[in-house]
Amino acid sequence: MYNAGKIIIGLLIFVGLVAFPFVYSGGKATAKPDPKVDTPEILKLAENERKCVEPKAYMKGEHMVLLNDWRDWVVRDDNTIYTATDGKKYTMSLQNTCMKCHSNKKKFCDECHNYTAVKPYCWDCHIVPKEKET
């Protein structure tokens, strides 16, 4: 015979354990990052021009690779112009290109990085854009 009472208690303990980190952090663990792309520089662009250097899906997954390439091309090959897949040209610069549009580092880069616990060391040397505290 199954012991329904024991099974239910077991289930309750299990659910409790699984939910614990979420409840404990006040629901924070479930809060998905929501990187904001509403900086003045981006809003200045015409609505159909509000795009990243490369398509969003690529940027989302591969921006670190792109940044790495940019650095190598600039520092090793002395090449400073990037031609995007859509033919647009950009100066390859973390500070003057990426961070010009994404001037909201905290609400953008950090929002995701904190969530995934990634800590790029770039800001040891590269200048962080000045932000107004919100």
| Residues in region 33-62 near ligand HEC by CB under 6 A | 33, 35, 37, 42, 50-53, 56, 59-60
Integer Cα distance of 128 and 58 in angstroms: 23
Category of 40 on φ-ψ map: left (φ > 0), alpha (ψ -120 to 50) or beta: alpha
Task: Between 5 and 61, name the residue whose CB sits nearer to ligand HEC.
Answer: 61
Cα 122 from Cα 115, distance rounded (Å):
18
Least Å distance between CB 7 and ligand HEC? 39
Please check whether residue 103 is in contact with residue 39, taking contact to mean a CB–CB distance below 8 angstroms.
Answer: yes
Binding positions for ligand HEC, rule: CB under 6 A? 33, 35, 37, 42, 50-53, 56, 59-60, 63-64, 66-67, 70-71, 74-75, 92-95, 97-98, 101-102, 108-109, 112-113, 116, 118, 120-122, 124-126
